[in-house]
Chain A
């Protein structure tokens, strides 16, 4: 969190760039973009002190649509890039945007390690349960019987459970949001960015092109029936047994965030040579 937290210096619209998104009409990511701008405005973030980092995929196009600094890197490595940025520039607010393919498949190990490190940043994964940019292949969260050209008849594999993985790996804040409720999503993002340590927000964001069935999500989502817990075991049990459409903040941890060493008073470089001299 940057020092600018309490000041509202921009309206949501000020966080939008002038670039027109390439997303399909009806894509859930439009609403996620809206939620980003609302959350940033609510937090009063300065655009120049905020960086949105992403990988590859439909959701990862989001940085260019915002007026902050952005980095649209290579597939799966957004968390690593954001980690290098945040530990060397702890003054910045760093938000990472990803999708279910980018974040859980090619970037899966970085996800686990980032939760474990608990560096103060927010990770937003727009989950549409399909590779949209490459036209409809199964992702780690795709249902086992979902029929695709790459895997006719379905993969037969149980979906990956990112929220439980995040908990088990040490994430300090776990929430599920739905793109169709942009105000609620913005509120969750505000809480996630404010919470110290690594915050993970899974946003259900329908792909109406390759998963028209996901239009139905708006009828399936419902608010989480109980308030967030700070007990990871309790949170894991709830998440393991819910219907996957439980929306809200599900876990607020109390782990100490990764301590980024403040720059100490630097010694003269010539001092380093002393080790070498006979």
Chain B
């Protein structure tokens, strides 16, 4: 049996068969054993009765992207699983566990020439009172991976506690039967024994980390309108904001949600709303209002494939253009993007901080991949960014809400403060906030709003910069994990390659990127769009070396680390 750095597992089945539950339990048990792991789910559009796959990658180090190939594929049944063929790459070395009662092997499996082993999952489940096939499948996967029955039983007891002892006992019995059935199977691979952890282990999704980052940053009001794949942020915030004395409020649409958030923030409460592309489209007018009235607000966009309704359950990076350029008029604002599940915590907290300190809307571009994936991560370090806007202590009659002196950020009066009364106005206004169509007032306030964003020092958080060499891979957002893995592979093979991934997309940081590109003569741009939006963004805001190549693809197929590494290698030779 060969030792390997990482093992990938897929558990698939028709909707309701419980493949995702089995995947979640498997990740949690592996985390208890001490491994790191990443779990993504891929589902059809149906809420019930579709098909579902849990894709899991386990390793002895943090995992930020999927592997090229699935090593172990367990099919609870094969109904409609062909639809996922392109997302579940298997090869001749892969082991496929199939239940003869679950239908014929899908074409993409038989084509791959993988080893297959028959396990009568349904019959085994039937042999256990109240046994469910997904728990048998979990046992099979656990047995093949060598996970302990004890860890899995602990997970079952914790996660099914509300269902009662009967359900727990049935699941444990089905699990055990699956482990026994797996005794005859040999994957030919095993992970090295887990290393002792440096930190507490968290089992989290990016959307949950976004919620926590918001609260840590100081958000105490969230306006919610449900949308896939952002709803989990709002559903996490609803009970947890209440626990810290805050409030989540459901709006009638996204137009209302963003305006509610702005209204709350005008009243002095740091506020956020979360949505996806269609909702961001509806919110853009009011984001411009927040720019004009200089009211802090955070808008999280968990990107999905577009345009229009697109593919709600699949990831893409194609909202970059609307986030950067979507506002009418000259409307400077902040755009940031988290780079991993763990980084959703930091970047959201930072977005709140920037919005508050700069009195500006801040758009955070997360995506379905990091939003809905679950990972076993080390507890992220605490960061000091807590949103604190400058508030005014106005003197009666003398207060200028939009005073230009003092670097562009002018102290904000909050309702309740005597002498601070002003009208926040989307109309062009002067220093006092009074509407004007005067050319000078207009320019002075445009200068003020741009200046405060451009003069601010964003620190080293503006980008991830790793390695050196004459070739740079530039990417952003959730692709940073795959790019990092590719760069690390290349460097292990003796190639000097660097990784550049801006976390701050707006305002652009030309001098910093210039410094990061010092000595680089070739740039590979990697992005998950059809139209090369990030490439055009970089061209618009930065000077790039002469030799630039683009590796891009729309969703939903992720760009793999191996593709990035291959693109660099091919270019070198």
Interface residues of chain A, those whose CB is within 8 Å of chain B, are 19, 46-49, 51, 53, 63-64, 67-74, 76-77, 80-89, 91-92, 109-110, 113, 260-261, 263-267, 269, 271-273, 276-278
Instruction: List the B residue with the shortest CB-CB distance to A19.
Output: B434
Contacts of B264 in A (CB 8 A): 84-85, 87-89
Q: Does B220 contact A (CB under 8 A)?
A: yes
- Tell me whether A53 and B263 are in contact (CB under 8 A): yes
- Tell me whether A85 and B266 are in contact (CB under 8 A): yes
Given A266-B243, A278-B201, A74:B263 Cβ within 8 A? no
Give the tally of cross-chain contacts (CB within 8 A): 171
Task: Enumerate 13 A-B pairs (CB-CB under 8 Å) in ascending A order.
Answer: A48-B417, A48-B421, A49-B416, A69-B420, A69-B422, A72-B427, A74-B426, A80-B256, A80-B257, A87-B249, A88-B271, A113-B256, A278-B376
Shortest Cβ gap from B227 to chain A (Å):
17
From B32, B200, B260, B427, residue with most partner A Cβ within 10 Å: B260
- Tell me whether B422 and A74 are in contact (CB under 8 A): no
User: CA A278 – CA B271 in complex, angstroms?
Assistant: 30
- Tell me whether A272 and B415 are in contact (CB under 8 A): no
Contacts of B28 in A (CB 8 A): 278
Q: Identify the stretch in B94-102, B141-149, B208-216 within 8 Å (CB) of chain A at 4 or more residues.
A: B208-216
Given A51-B415, A84-B249, A85-B263, A77:B255 Cβ within 8 A? yes
User: CA A64 – CA B425 in complex, angstroms?
Assistant: 9
Picked from B212, B242, B271, B293, the residue with its CB within 8 Å of the CB of A261 is: B242
Given A88-B220, A278-B203, A269:B426 Cβ within 8 A? no
- Tell me whether B415 and A276 are in contact (CB under 8 A): no
Q: Does B91 contact A (CB under 8 A)?
A: no
Given A48-B417, A69-B415, A278-B28, A272:B215 Cβ within 8 A? yes
Shortest Cβ gap from B456 to chain A (Å):
26
- Tell me whether B243 and A271 are in contact (CB under 8 A): yes
- Tell me whether B289 and A73 are in contact (CB under 8 A): yes
- Tell me whether B240 and A272 are in contact (CB under 8 A): yes
User: CA A186 – CA B375 in complex, angstroms?
Assistant: 60
Contacts of B245 in A (CB 8 A): 263-266
Picked from B244, B260, B267, B416, the residue with its CB within 8 Å of the CB of A267 is: B244
Q: Does B31 contact A (CB under 8 A)?
A: yes
- Tell me whether B260 and A69 are in contact (CB under 8 A): no
- Tell me whether B263 and A67 are in contact (CB under 8 A): no
- Tell me whether B263 and A82 are in contact (CB under 8 A): yes
Shortest Cβ gap from A230 to chain B (Å):
27
Shortest Cβ gap from A260 to chain B (Å):
8
Contacts of B263 in A (CB 8 A): 53, 71, 80-86, 88
- Tell me whether A67 and B32 are in contact (CB under 8 A): no
Shortest Cβ gap from A266 to chain B (Å):
4
Q: Does B299 contact A (CB under 8 A)?
A: no
- Tell me whether A276 and B261 are in contact (CB under 8 A): no
User: CA A276 – CA B422 in complex, angstroms?
Assistant: 43
Contacts of A110 in B (CB 8 A): 252, 255-256
Picked from B253, B286, B420, the residue with its CB within 8 Å of the CB of A48 is: B420
User: CA A77 – CA B243 in complex, angstroms?
Assistant: 29
Q: Which 5 A/B pairs are nearest by Cβ-Cβ distance? A: A84-B260, A84-B263, A70-B423, A80-B256, A266-B245
- Tell me whether B256 and A83 are in contact (CB under 8 A): yes
Q: What's the dominant secondary structure at chain A's contact region?
A: mixed
User: CA A93 – CA B426 in complex, angstroms?
Assistant: 22
Q: Does B128 contact A (CB under 8 A)?
A: no
Shortest Cβ gap from A13 to chain B (Å):
15
Q: Does B83 contact A (CB under 8 A)?
A: no
Picked from B223, B289, B422, the residue with its CB within 8 Å of the CB of A84 is: B223
- Tell me whether B416 and A91 are in contact (CB under 8 A): yes
Shortest Cβ gap from A76 to chain B (Å):
8
Shortest Cβ gap from A132 to chain B (Å):
16
User: CA A12 – CA B373 in complex, angstroms?
Assistant: 59
- Tell me whether A88 and B247 are in contact (CB under 8 A): yes
User: CA A100 – CA B69 in complex, angstroms?
Assistant: 61
- Tell me whether B252 and A109 are in contact (CB under 8 A): yes
Contacts of A266 in B (CB 8 A): 243-245
Shortest Cβ gap from B385 to chain A (Å):
13
Query: Given A73-B289, A84-B221, A266-B243, 6 more contacts at CB 8 Å?
Result: A64-B434, A83-B249, A84-B259, A84-B261, A277-B200, A278-B31
Q: Does B268 contact A (CB under 8 A)?
A: yes
User: CA A183 – CA B264 in complex, angstroms?
Assistant: 33
Contacts of A53 in B (CB 8 A): 263
- Tell me whether A276 and B256 are in contact (CB under 8 A): no
Q: Does B495 contact A (CB under 8 A)?
A: no
Residue-wise, chain B 230-253 has the 8 Å CB interface mask toward A (1 for contact) of: 000000000010111101010111
Given A19-B434, A74-B286, A113-B256, A88:B31 Cβ within 8 A? no
Contacts of A84 in B (CB 8 A): 221, 223, 249, 259-265, 267, 271
Contacts of B289 in A (CB 8 A): 73-74
User: CA A209 – CA B208 in complex, angstroms?
Assistant: 55
- Tell me whether A87 and B425 are in contact (CB under 8 A): no
User: CA A53 – CA B289 in complex, angstroms?
Assistant: 14
Contacts of B260 in A (CB 8 A): 80-81, 83-84, 87
Contacts of B379 in A (CB 8 A): 273, 276-277
Question: Using a CB-CB cutoff of 8 Å, which residues 1-42 of chain B contact chain A?
Answer: 28, 31-32
Contacts of B247 in A (CB 8 A): 87-88, 260-261
Shortest Cβ gap from A265 to chain B (Å):
7
Contacts of B435 in A (CB 8 A): 64, 72
User: CA A251 – CA B293 in complex, angstroms?
Assistant: 37
- Tell me whether A69 and B421 are in contact (CB under 8 A): yes
Q: Does B532 contact A (CB under 8 A)?
A: no
Q: Does B419 contact A (CB under 8 A)?
A: yes
Contacts of B215 in A (CB 8 A): 269, 272
Picked from A63, A80, A264, A277, the residue with its CB within 8 Å of the CB of B259 is: A80
User: CA A260 – CA B269 in complex, angstroms?
Assistant: 15
From B31, B215, B240, residue with most partner A Cβ within 10 Å: B240
Question: Using a CB-CB cutoff of 8 Å, which residues 407-429 of chain B contact chain A?
Answer: 413, 415-427
Instruction: List the A residue with the shortest CB-CB distance to B260.
Output: A84
Q: Does B204 contact A (CB under 8 A)?
A: yes
Contacts of B286 in A (CB 8 A): 73-74, 77
Contacts of A263 in B (CB 8 A): 245
User: CA A67 – CA B422 in complex, angstroms?
Assistant: 8
Shortest Cβ gap from A156 to chain B (Å):
29
- Tell me whether A48 and B418 are in contact (CB under 8 A): yes
